[in-house]
Structure 1
Amino acid sequence: MTEPVLTLDGVETCYGLSQVLFGISLSIGEGEMVTLMGRNGMGKTTTVRSIMGLTPARAGTIRFGGRQIRGMPAYRVAQYGIGLVPEGRQIFPNLSVRENLVATAAARHGGEWTLQRIYELFPRLAEREGNMGGQLSGGEQQMLAVGRALMTNPRLLILDEATEGLAPIIRQEIWRCLAKLKGTGLSVLVIDKNVGALMRVADRHFMIERGRVVWTGSSAELSAATDIQHRYLGV
């Protein structure tokens, strides 16, 4: 069995004196799509920030591609091949769509993701190529954020709140995109509240409650565990 692309083991993270993560452990295999689920404020985004080095973990191990990355600066983590689509999108409002996409582009891992391929995945971005990021709708900004992360040619893509605040038709577009990405063999970690869509597209799920993983299983297991969905997701 090959080593997982990403492994967290006993990760603890604090904001000042307030501890948020209490021994988080999870793994993502090559070409696997994994979700992190839970109610608001339970530590999902903090887990992502810990992986990326944006809020350094104070204990535990974070291994990516067999390399210990805990304690490394965020830019180094990104260079190793983790692409982040952050909560709130955080695109560059005063750069054009094209400039947003090429600003952080890198040809690592074979350089398969090019401007042309992003435009094929999201034709709307090709149509708006010359528009400033700040002129785009929320859905278009999310597409741009995904495209920008893919342009770094990551080995692992992380999406924090993949479809939050988007219109239903745009959500469908994002889920279609994620299904396509899974087909390319890219490893993906996704956070979202749309349990039904996540179960259709993802391989495994990790449920988080108060900074701890309280349940993990496949989509089939989660579908059958309606008590778990109700207890930890309120659905």
Structure 2
Amino acid sequence: MTSLHVENLVCRYGLLTAIKGVSLSLQPGGVLCVIGANGAGKTTLMRALAGAHPAAEGHILLGGVDVTALSTYQRVRAGIAMSPEGRRLFAEMTVRENLIIAAENGRKGEWTLDRVLDAFPQLVPLIDKRAGGLSGGQRQAAAIGRALLANPDVLLLDEVSLGLSPVAVEGVYLSLAAIKAARAMTMVVVEQDLTRALGFADTILCMAEGRVELAGAPTEFTRAQITAAYFGIHEPEVADA
């Protein structure tokens, strides 16, 4: 059974259609990286998967169960958690308090506070510091840890490396690599760094203007094909002589 299945998903902002018939299927433990230029619809897709943006058409299934009509908190309890773009931590609360909120409102499971700190050791000396004083990489680690404490079957990570230094990106991805190796959960990752995405993903989904331009294992495509899909470039059709 697939862990996550999306069928002909359409999302709108008023008269603007941001997601145009997107479909995808992920097996348990798989890693999908969603790539595309700014405005491609990546964040809207993630918000729709998390329940933060309504689907105008289509279906979202988690473990074979249709969750399309569920609210965000209901999806967390069903097994979908997201680390959003911008991290969205409670700035006046400590790192510990930000993490405990997720543990108290998510599902019970193997991800505990101690395990999150093992996965993100950079948070250990910061655990009782206010989240508003953290660096970008530290906030990203805390936001991912918060999502993990909901013990999801599907972990959504939006814009993992956006705004981070190379050192911070490397630290975050080292932790994610260990999570990936365990194959304990499915991950959907939005990543602007194309090289990083191709190296981390089992499957890539390239979007342009709300549509899927290319989908499959990174090894199935040349770098030129991926780059063209990234920017929505199509070869002109050649008329028959």
TM range (shorter): over 0.9
The CA distance in 2 between the partners of 1:233 and 1:220, in whole Å, is: 19
1:199, distance to aligned residue in structure 2 (A): 1.5
Corresponding residue for residue 187 of structure 2: 188
Structure 2 CA distance for partners of 1:83 and 1:209, relative to 1, 3 Å: same
> In the alignment, residue 187 of structure 2 is paired with which amino acid?
V
* SS, match of residue 173 in structure 1: helix
Is the partner of 2:109 in helix, strand or coil? coil
For 1:10, the equivalent position in structure 2 comes to: 8
Separation (CA, whole Å) in 2 of partners of 1:114 and 1:122? 12
Contact 1:44 1:191 in 2 (8 A): yes
Task: Report what 1:41 is aligned to.
Answer: 39
Structure-1 separation of matches of 2:148 and 2:210: 29
Are 1:58 and 2:56 counterparts? yes
Q: Could you tell me the percent identity over the aligned residues?
A: 35
Paired residue total:
231
Deviation of 1:107 (Å): 9.1
Unaligned ranges ≥5, structure 1? none
1:123 counterpart letter in structure 2: P
Amino acid aligned to 1:156: V
Partner of 2:28: 30
Which protein has the larger Cα radius of gyration, Structure 1 or Structure 2? Answer: 2
Give the aligned partner of residue 214 of structure 1.
213
Where structure 2 has 5 or more consecutive residues not aligned to the other structure, the ranges are 233-241
Q: Which residue of 1 aligns with 2:18?
A: 20
The separation in 1 between residues aligned to 2:135 and 2:106, in whole angstroms, is: 30
Deviations 1:173-229 (Å, cap 9, x if unpaired)? 11111211111212100001111111112100011111111111212124x242331
Partners of 1:151 and 1:39 lie apart in 2 by 31
Closer/same/farther in 2, CA of residues 231 and 34 from structure 1, 3 Å limit: closer
| Alpha-carbon distance in structure 2 between the residues aligned to 1:107 and 1:133 | 19
SS of residue paired to 1:178: helix
CA contact (8 A) 2:10 2:21 kept: yes
Write the deviation string for residues 154-188 of structure 1: whole angstroms up to 9, x where unpaired. Answer: 11111000010000001001111121111121210
Change (3 A) 1:106 1:190: same
1:150, 1:19 → 2: CA distance? 31
Tell me the SS of whatever aligns to 1:47: helix
8 Å CA contact retained: 1:107, 1:153: no
Q: Cα 1:10–1:80, aligned 2, differ >3 Å: closer, same or farther?
A: same
Q: 2:93 aligns with which of 95, 113, 127?
A: 95
- Work out whether residues 87 and 143 of structure 2, in 8 Å CA contact, stay in contact via their aligned partners in 1: yes
**TM-score of the pair, normalised by structure 2:** 0.91
Query: In 1, Cα distance between the equivalents of 2:132 and 2:121?
Result: 18
What RMSD, in angstroms, separates the aligned Cα atoms of the two structures? 1.6
Secondary structure of the residue aligned to 1:54 is: coil
| Letter matched to residue 37 of structure 2 | R
Deviation, structure 1 residue 52 = 1.4
CA distance in 1, matches of 2:155, 2:66: 18
